Amino acid sequence: MRAIVVREAGGPEVLRIEEVPDPVPGGGEVLVRVAAAAVNHVDLSQRANPGALPFTPGVDAAGTRVDNGERVLVSGQIGSYAELLAAPAELVHAIPDSLDAAAAAALGVTYRTALAALEVGKLERGGTLLVQAGSSGTGQACIDLGRSLGAKVYATAGGGKLDRLRELGAEPLAYDDPSIEKLEADVVFDPVGAETFERSLSALSTGGRLVTPGALGNPIAPVNIWTIVMKGASLIGIGAAAVSSEQFEHLIEQAGRGELHPVVDRELPLDQAPEAHRLIEQRRVFGKIVLRAG
């Protein structure tokens, strides 16, 4: 089979297409023929700072089970930038015919992360949500889920992407918009880091929750402790693993019914994985890039 293989740490250029042996599923594993693999920010981090080498990146893939042809989504198993993927059965979820492979792949890590964030942030119907970096994959997922929960959603992005945020149903704001400090948000989702963190704190209402899955930029953020104290604010770190299989399958059902709308910026052939990583690093993406393996 063909797969993207990383044999050294580095930039997008270390992502190389190779012919490699087909994976052999072990006990309790399912072999999936990959149609579409989502590109996530964690893939870029693993490429630049890999553990064991060589490896195939990617943790989200939609395709079909080799044994019975069922359409499925795999989320949480590394190695999705490939034509075949062996994954533990508990990470393999059926997808409805109404959900195409690219949209299904886009549901994975981003929507699980967004759901975990809004759950721990206790966002309620009628509440106010601020999403920093709303054009990112997790940002778009937070907007989508926030809207489905009946919240008032504000979102930030660069100037060229604000109209796209409005199309998603969010009130768009520039990163430096002074009105951010007056939002009185119940929940702020901030995946950016130092560039936005202080402003995210200032946007919170009394007792508000700032939730972060990590930092796309500088992770060392200056914090005014008095802002936290005066607002009685909470800072909460989360990850996609906090979402159960049952919760994730409910997300898949919602997307299949057209209640959620994963945004796919573009689809690229598998061998253009380096270009996908470059586009994300250059912030030239709105939503997800998906690699087509078949």
Encode pLDDT of 199-210 as tens digits: 999 999 999 999
What is the Cα–Cα distance from 59 to 11, expressed in whole angstroms?
19
pLDDT confidence of residue 242? 80
CATH architecture of the domain formed by 111-241: 3-Layer(aba) Sandwich (3.40)
Structure tokens at 196: 């936005």
Q: Which residues contact 95 (CB under 8 A, 6 or more apart)?
A: 62, 71, 72, 73, 104, 252, 256
Residue type, 184: E
**Phi and psi of 146, rounded to 5°?**
-60, -45
What is the Cα–Cα distance from 170 to 291, expressed in whole angstroms?
27
**Domain layout of the chain by residue ranges:** 2-109+243-292, 111-241
pLDDT confidence of residue 147? 97
3-state helix, strand, coil in the chain (%, to 5): 35, 30, 35
Cis peptide leading into 54, omega within 30 of 0?
A: yes
- What is the Cα 178 distance to its own chain's centre? 27
Look at domain 2-109+243-292 and name its CATH class: alpha beta
Q: What is the mean pLDDT of each run of 10 residues along the chain (294 residues)?
A: 98 98 96 98 95 96 97 97 98 97 97 96 97 96 97 95 96 97 97 95 98 92 92 92 91 97 97 98 95 90
pTM of the model: 0.94
pLDDT confidence of residue 114? 96
Residue type, 222: P
